[in-house]
Amino acid sequence: MKNISKKTKEKASLLLKEGKVIKEVETDKRIHFKVISKETHSVIFDKEKNTWECDCKWGSLREKHCSHILACNLFLERTK
pLDDT at 15: 97
pLDDT digits (tens, 9 = 90+) for 13-68: 999 999 999 999 999 999 999 999 889 999 999 999 999 999 998 766 666 789 99
Reply yes or no on whether the pLDDT at 69 is more than 90: yes
At residue 59, the pLDDT reads 66
- How far is the first Cα of the chain from the last one, in angstroms, to the nearest whole number? 18
CA–CA gap between residue 24 and residue 34 (Å, rounded):
7
pLDDT at 44: 96
The residue among 79, 59, 60 whose CA lies nearest residue 8 is 59
